[in-house]
Amino acid sequence: MKTMTKAILLLLMALTMPMVVNAKNIKTPKVYIFGFSASFQDSTIYMTDVQEITNVWIESKTKFLLGREHYSRQLNEYLTAQQHPNRVCLVIFALKREDAEKKYLKMRKQYTLKSKRKYDMKYLNTNDFKFSTVNLDIEEEPKK
């Protein structure tokens, strides 16, 4: 009986293995990105302009920007250098500028008009801070 159960489990595992699909990484000529930074220690919020970044990697299945943590770190390091340490930084991106601007306006509205708390919103334009492309050295998987 145990061997029969093991055989059935092995058969099920063998049948479900091909269903596991690895997501492919694709290089995108450009994306539009903006940064957001907040702190638990004060009510100041920083937002960057929507910026165009070239030659970035996207995971094809989830449409996630690869190396997001590197872009967040760029903003964090800039703010730390400006005497604003210990901030939580994140980046939001889109493949089209219009989509990125919609996300930008929605987030800005959430922290200005719709917020119950009063936040000190500070904007970083591209003269203040600019994201730079992160080289991830990923090989693009061939299309089948």
- 64-117 pLDDT per residue, tens: 999 999 999 999 999 999 999 999 999 999 999 999 999 999 999 998 887 778
Q: Residues 47, 76, 128, CA angle at the centre, nearest 5°? A: 50
Give the separation between CA 57 and CA 66, rounded to whole angstroms: 5
Contact between 105 and 49 under an 8 Å Cβ cutoff? The reply is no
What single letter denotes the amino acid at residue 52?
A: E
Dig out the tokens for 45 from the structure. Answer: 């919020």
pTM of the model: 0.77
